[in-house]
Structure 1
């Protein structure tokens, strides 16, 4: 497989989309019918609690958990006085000045609920189309920074100023990257469509109760097509005839240039299995990522950040140590760029490259990481190598990572990744017996524990057990509980 392709695997329970670049899976998107993503959805919410200490408020939008709205995401109050440049001043208002409990307002989800946190909201509502993004009640025109040609930017700005003044003078617009080659007719159609959609949304909001959804973003398969701006897709393969028909109709209306590239995959072998996507999904859930040279990466997700550690592993190089380290770090930088997209890792990311002495090597490794992230749709910011040899970066996070979507914490270790050893549990058990023996008068003591703990007690710890039994003066009996995890035990006095 060459070029860039989209593979879509559709079932009634979930939709999965894989972006494949030159035969390599670089992005995975998943949406389940029982738990659709909320980013982009618009709700009529009610403020249920204002928190001045956090400069934020909790808003009830009808979800399981109340959503979070920070003061910086609330449209500020306009002041009549003018700033030095003659424009109206916008002063920062505290959350108590902006909102009150019980107030109803229109909000949009900008971050899905992640872990124990509720959704993140904004009152700066935006409505996207293929070429434009509508910014209601704002007066500015923005142009995507990915459109770099000055002549094109000037043409688009002039066209949009004219269209805005004619059809939607009270609203602002952002011109998306996909509009770089769009003519005035296409932009005009989008302006009219977005204006009508916004009027419909306002009417719906006025006639519904707080806590209801006003507008949901497109389903995954259509949203992916809309947002793949600037990506030259050679082919889109879909294994569901019904979805293929819907995608074609959507493309004919909004993205006609893609219509001929949309194919129905009728094969009996699952499409994700045929192109090794299933195998990539399994590998993306593992901590360890093998490099071709013999080195490897270790990914660890925590609540606060994601850490990436690079090791030379079996790679011994051919010239000298510095050259070996440099080549491993270069290969690691390319692999990390792909893995961040594949695993959809976001937030703060700390990369521990192998220590390099040569400043030029450090610069080239950072540049290799930047190149690997150039095609990433999520906004990334990379810092230089720190004095400790670490690279700090951030990647915008709006949805759960692949691991959080597909996995849940281990019920045995609680997500720690470790269990107390049988030896540790034995010694805890000894202390519990001593503590209980001082408080209760019993004829016999019974220990309920897992097989591994009792085996250790009766074998390697038998002498210690005999001394303890003599000290407490009570016979100790043992009972294996097959349902107990290694850390579990009970001491029962009879």
Structure 2
């Protein structure tokens, strides 16, 4: 499978696209005014301790206080846990772990999303090309994506031999598969230098200061996404290209020849069709080649994906048609979750199938398609109603939340009150107003569609209302008013 990374840079925005076999699979956006906080380390101060929530709110210099749960607070060193890779199962009360006014070093593990502040941990980790340093641990682990047991053992032993008396723990990343021990040793030395710098900065920092900031999006993407099957990294900015080339020369010299500057006149995202794919990813409906379609609906609590056959009738029986549509939908859903960067709880409503083997095959197809996802996913068995519950790790806002805002007309509801409904609201408001205040006549300001309906279909109702309140009502159309807005003015 051929893959490419495209990096589009403008003065205020950087975008990165991962292309697999000519199709967009993932897109990342970073704006100068809204750089993400994920991975950053701060000197914080505990503002409030909430025993009922087993959590504390921590000031880290952001608009909203960040959230720190008791389970994310470092407790007993794992040397005392006989080398276990987990914290004790019983979490002590939060007020035994932190107190108000306490200075604390914390790392952002989830960006602020919606009305929620960032989520924090005191289990600090610093990533490099091939390793992740675990500041408060001494264990050595290997990425679950490396499946060969012999290779896992080799990598683990290589790290253990480098530091028999370890100060920190390490996780060997997927990118390290097949690499010599020398490459890992270079990363260990680099991470130790970074950690010493972070520790020194923390001592002199003020509350809210960032003592460690992750790499910029282009360098972070190259570090995290660069694999053996990445054929090219194309960058349309000369400055970013040179900076990336320097970074790759230092940390992955064998891949220098894959970094290219794109000097073309045509925008690089247009050339690969990425702009069109981004626009399609902002729509609810996703067409399938078979004629069916998906409906993707993001809400605050979860995301639902509905699978429909549409005009696809198939050439055999109904069960075969449904099975084929669900198989195609399983692949499409996995891709849409990546492109849209949807996380949290996801419910997929597949079309009902009778055959148990068909259900297993559809679930297997979904799991297979999700295997290439960089975010951690967990898929549960299909329910009797054909629903599949799954989770996808969320660290940043989805593509839609990054690029869009709630519609000012419907305030994010996705629907508007009809002109008829607004008319009757106006009539009720008029009745309410004349009972409370004295006036000779009334002026109603409303959207053109609403005024048009009042003067046409509702003219008889207006006459009855004027007779009832013994007042004259005049209506004025306001082009700037959205459909639901109106004002009743007493004259």
| TM-score (structure 2 length as normaliser) | 0.96
Q: Indicate whether 1:401 and 2:402 are aligned.
A: no
Q: How does 1:68-467 map to 2 (within 5 A)?
A: 68-77=67-76, 91-165=90-164, 169-228=166-225, 230=227, 232-467=229-464
1:223-251: per-residue Cα shift (whole Å, max 9, x none)?
Answer: 11111265510111111111111111111
CA contact (8 A) 1:81 1:89 kept: no
TM-score (norm 1): 0.96
Structure 2 CA distance for partners of 1:82 and 1:363, relative to 1, 3 Å: closer
Q: Secondary structure at the match of 1:340?
A: helix
Q: Does structure 2 retain, via aligned residues, the 8 Å contact 1:58–1:69? A: yes
User: Equivalent residue of 1:53, what SS?
Assistant: helix
Mapped to 1, the partners of 2:369 and 2:88 lie a distance apart of 41
- Label 1:269 to 1:387 Cα distance change in 2 as closer, same or farther (>3 A): same
Deviation at 1:388, TM superposition (A): 2.2
The separation in 1 between residues aligned to 2:80 and 2:8, in whole angstroms, is 56
Q: CA deviation at 1:146?
A: 1.6
Paired residues, what number? Answer: 490
Describe the superposition over 1:138-186 as per-residue Cα deviations: whole angstroms up to 9, x where unpaired.
22111111222222222222221121226xx221111111222222222
Structure 2 distance, partners of 1:106, 1:196, is 18
**Contact 1:44–1:61 (CA<8 Å) still a contact in 2?**
yes
RMSD: 1.9
SS of the aligned residue for 1:292 comes to coil
Structure 1 CA distance for aligned equivalents of residues 167 and 209 of structure 2: 26
Measured after TM superposition, the shift of residue 82 of structure 1 is 7.9
Return the alpha-carbon distance in structure 2 between the equivalents of residues 88 and 287 of structure 1: 41
- 1:420 and 1:108 mapped to 2: Cα distance? 45
Aligned to 1:46: 45
| 3-state SS in 1 of match to 2:52 | coil
- 2:31 aligned with 1:32, yes or no? yes
Contact residue 77 and residue 137 of structure 2 kept, 8 A: no
Alpha carbons 2:447, 2:478 under 8 Å: kept: yes
Shift, 1:482, TM fit: 2.1
> Do the aligned partners of 1:50 and 1:56 also contact (CA within 8 Å) in 2?
yes
CA distance in 2, matches of 1:289, 1:25: 14
Structure 2, unaligned runs of 5 or more: none
1:117 alignment partner, SS class: coil
Distance in 2 between residues matched to 1:80 and 1:260, nearest whole Å? 44
Question: Relative to structure 2, which stretch is displaced further, 224-233 or 209-218?
Answer: 224-233
Moved more, 376-385 or 191-200: 191-200
Structure 1: runs of 5+ lacking an equivalent: none
